[in-house]
A and B are shown apart, each in its own frame.
Chain A
Amino acid sequence: MVDGVSYTIARGRTLGVVGESGCGKSMTALALLGLVPKPAHVTGRIVVSGQNLSGIAAGKWPEIRGKRIAMVFQEPMTALNPGMCVGDQIGEVLHLHESLGWKEARERAVEELRLVGIPSPAERAKSYPHQLSGGMRQRVVIAMALACRPDVLIADEPTTALDVTIQAQILELMQRLQDEIGMAVQFISHNLAVVSEIADEVIVMYAGQVVERASAEELFSKPLHPYTQGLIATMPMIDNRQEQLAVIPGVVPHLDGNHKGCRFAGRCHKADSECRALVPALITVEPAHEVACHKARP
């Protein structure tokens, strides 16, 4: 259950969304695309470049998806159709949204492959996904997402399935393309190191709610919410030898409708009776730094 999540991303900026598995990061992304699986439903507003998308008819969504808002997936192995060569898959997006003929769409697809740094793109366009390495596939997925120059790009853990050197290349590529195209990026990850590198602003989600929002610098130097502090403490540091990695005890609670108080209270070492009774609101404690915690008041 995702609840009360609100954020804006400016053109050319990157919002990092962090939180552990199952906290609602991906669900928020799907809500943005009008793809929340039943029986869940979305209340609230989605506004892209001044256009309100929350009220539009179901039949209008395909025009938005891929054109205004695009998405890069976690698993480049499964995000590409195994039975279609990659050039055609990119071409199809262009064919759908820019009413290009098949021949033109294929030519543009080759250009897109060149843009994402794939060597000899004309030959590569005829390859099938299984013939490409993980990093190459992720480049193809990015090319597909960016083919129509979207306003917003949602990247759902785009580097999680890749090894570290490829991760760095893909991040660099995404930043370069963001500068060229000028889109807003929502970067979902549970990898704090990656987020600290790529994001301008970060929101931390826990069990479907935003618990902290701050600029990336501020968040990592001065985390206020005990959950954020815990997350940062779990990052292994390269200079200290650690016998054991730090953990946050407990698991994300299973929420039913009548949960009282702070959702993190059960795992928080600072929690008291107030935390268990009252839901903390997201309040601004410092300029551009919001936190939802009773214990983090100034």
Chain B
Amino acid sequence: MNALAIAVDNAPWQRRWRRFRRNRTALSGLYVLVALIVFSLAAAPLEALLGIDANNADLLSRFDGRSATNWLGHDELGRDVLIRLMYGGQVSLGVGIAATLLGAVIGISIGLAAGYFGGNLDALLMRFTDGIIALPLLPLLIVLAAIDLTKLGFSADFARSSAASFYRIVLIIALIDWTRIARLVRASTLSIREREFVLAARVSGAGTVRILLRSVLPNVIAPIIVACSQVLGSVILFEAVLSFLGFGIAPPTPSWGNMLNNAQELVATAPMLAIYPGLLIFITVIAVNFIGDGLQDAFDPRAE
């Protein structure tokens, strides 16, 4: 084998990316997700360009139709629908990604510890995980979302701010969405820790933390990434559900979920107000699931 062949077939990641790229559905899912992120991030520039303020209520132009500056018209308070959808996307996608990553960190830690150390710790952590899975999620989320932050020692200003409702919903969702990842990581860790290279690392003097981070984690990362992509879809839906029920992101900060909530009384008069955010949630979840399927195929160990 010459240097050229090495360069072509270098890392496992390059082979995975090649396989992912061959999957049309997954690739289009990725394009759609990137487009949605760009769409959301374009909110402020577009606002400045069109010279409008998305939070500025203008009751005189309630339900006004499309115009040169208000491309998707006005909502029930006369705010620009397009810009609010874009800001809402920032919140919805931000919550989705942040809660998934935070949940992944919790799940990876618990799964690694349970799988690698085994024994009583494993039993304890896995029964705890089973317990979390057995909890009725929606009532739990609602109760957690209804906790008064001022009673926890936060200032009243912070408790009412939109940042607080963002962090709160991220934390709440992360606290319950790690279970799938924890189980997956534990299962993979159980099989990896019996592999000879883990013993080899121990024999060459590596400590437990180093073995976990350098020998075990890189070899269980593939199923984690697949699982994260699937969790992301459900997290975005969770945020939508919570906001729809009024426990999520507090208005006037828009999220796709609370825009749906606002629109529900107006379905008869202004159906588009419900259709736009609903459609965006739908497209996002579908795109994310396509990506997840593609990752699953690309990371399939049988193809390696």
Chain A neighbourhood of B219, CB < 8 A: 81-83
Give the residues in chain A near B214, CB-CB below 8 Å.
81, 84, 92
CB pair B197–A81 under 8 Å, yes or no, is: yes
A73 neighbours in B (Cβ, 8 Å): 196, 199-200
Mask, A105-146, CB within 8 Å of B = 1, is: 000000000000000100100111011000000000100110
Contact with A along B182-219 (1 / 0, CB 8 A): 00000000000001110111111111001000110011
Tell me which residues across on chain B come within 8 A of A141, comparing CB atoms.
200
B196, B200, B207, B218: the one contacting A62 at CB < 8 Å is B207
Instruction: Establish whether residues B197 and A96, one from each chain, have CB atoms under 8 Å apart when the complex forms.
Output: no
**Could you tell me if B6 and A93 are in contact, using CB atoms closer than 8 angstroms?**
no
Cβ of A13 under 8 Å from chain B: no
A80 contacts the other chain (CB 8 A): yes
**Least distance between A187 CB and chain B CB atoms (Å):** 16
Pick from A82, A84, A93, A127: contact of B205, CB below 8 A.
A93
Is A127 within 8 A of B196, CB to CB? no
Question: What 0/1 readout, one digit per residue, does chain A (68-84) give for beta carbons within 8 Å of chain B?
Answer: 00110111001111111
B9 within 8 A of A: yes
Complex contact A35–B12 (CB within 8 A): no
Min CB–CB distance A129 → chain B (angstroms): 9
Quote the shortest CB–CB distance from A170 to chain B (angstroms).
17
Known: A131-B1, A131-B9. A62 touches B203 (CB 8 A): no
| B3 lies within 8 A of A96 (CB) | no
Contacts of B215 in A (CB 8 A): 81
A contact residues around B6 at 8 Å (CB): 123, 126-127, 131
* Chain B contact residue count (CB 8 A cutoff): 25
B218 touches A84 (CB 8 A): yes
A58-101: which have CB < 8 Å to B?
Answer: 62-67, 70-71, 73-75, 78-84, 92-93, 96-97
* Closest B residue to A127 using CB positions: B6
Question: Are the CB atoms of A75 and B196 closer together than 8 Å?
Answer: yes
With A35-B199, A73-B196, A131-B9 known as contacts, the answer to whether A66 contacts B204 (CB < 8 A) is yes
A124, closest chain B residue (CB): B6
- Complex Cα spacing A66 to B206, Å: 9
Known: A66-B203, A144-B204. A82 touches B12 (CB 8 A): yes
Q: Is the CB of B197 within 8 A of A80?
A: yes
Known: A62-B207, A67-B205. A83 touches B12 (CB 8 A): yes
Q: How far is the CA of A127 from the CA of B12 in the complex (A)?
A: 11
User: Which B residues touch A17, using CB under 8 A?
Assistant: none
Q: Does residue B11 face the partner (Cβ distance < 8 Å to A)?
A: yes
How far, in angstroms, from A93 to B207 measured CA to CA in the complex? 11
Instruction: Say yes or no: B203 contacts A71, CB within 8 Å.
Output: yes
The residues in B between 211 and 235 inclusive whose CB is less than 8 angstroms from any CB of A are 214-215, 218-219
The answer to whether B203 and A35 have CB atoms under 8 Å apart is yes
Contacts of A75 in B (CB 8 A): 196
**A70 with B203: CB separation less than 8 A:** yes
Cα distance A80–B196 in the bound complex, in angstroms: 8
- Residue from A65, A83, A127, A128 within 8 A of B203 (CB atoms): A65
Confirm or deny: A204 has a beta carbon within 8 angstroms of a beta carbon on chain B: no
Residues on A with C-beta less than 8 A from B210 are: 96
Compute how far the CA of A67 lies from the CA of B204 in the bound complex, rounded to whole angstroms.
Answer: 7
A84–B216 CA distance with the chains assembled, in angstroms: 11
What is the distance, in angstroms, from A249's C-beta to the closest C-beta of chain B? Answer: 32
**Nearest opposing residue in chain B for A129, CB measure:** B197
Q: Is the CB of A123 within 8 A of B12?
A: no
Contact with A along B1-44 (1 / 0, CB 8 A): 10100100111100000000000000000000000000000000
Cα A236 to Cα B87 in complex, Å, equals 79
Min Cβ gap B118→A in Å is 10
Contact of A83 among B201, B205, B206, B218 (CB under 8 A): B218
Contacts of B264-304 to chain A: CB distance below 8 A:
304
Asked if A79 contacts B1 (CB within 8 A), the reply is no
Bound-state CA distance A66–B9 (Å) is 31
Residues in B neighbouring A79, C-beta threshold 8 A: 196-197, 200
Contact, CB under 8 Å: A66 / B197:
no
What is the distance, in angstroms, from B214's C-beta to the closest C-beta of chain A?
Answer: 7
Instruction: List the B side residues contacting A203 at CB < 8 Å.
Output: none
Minimum CB–CB distance for B77 against chain A, Å: 53
A-B contact pairs, 28 of them (CB 8 A): A33-B203, A35-B199, A35-B202, A35-B203, A62-B205, A64-B205, A70-B204, A71-B203, A75-B196, A78-B195, A78-B197, A79-B196, A79-B197, A81-B197, A81-B218, A81-B219, A82-B12, A82-B219, A83-B219, A84-B214, A96-B204, A96-B206, A96-B210, A126-B6, A126-B10, A128-B12, A131-B1, A141-B200
Chain A residues within CB distance 8 Å of chain B: 33, 35, 62-67, 70-71, 73-75, 78-84, 92-93, 96-97, 120, 123, 126-128, 130-131, 141, 144-145
Given A71-B200, A92-B204, A123-B6, 16 more A-B residue pairs with CB atoms under 8 Å apart are A35-B199, A35-B203, A62-B206, A62-B207, A65-B204, A79-B200, A81-B214, A81-B219, A82-B12, A83-B219, A84-B214, A96-B204, A120-B3, A126-B10, A128-B10, A128-B12
Pairs A-B, 6 closest by C-beta atoms: A66-B205, A66-B204, A78-B196, A83-B218, A65-B205, A71-B203
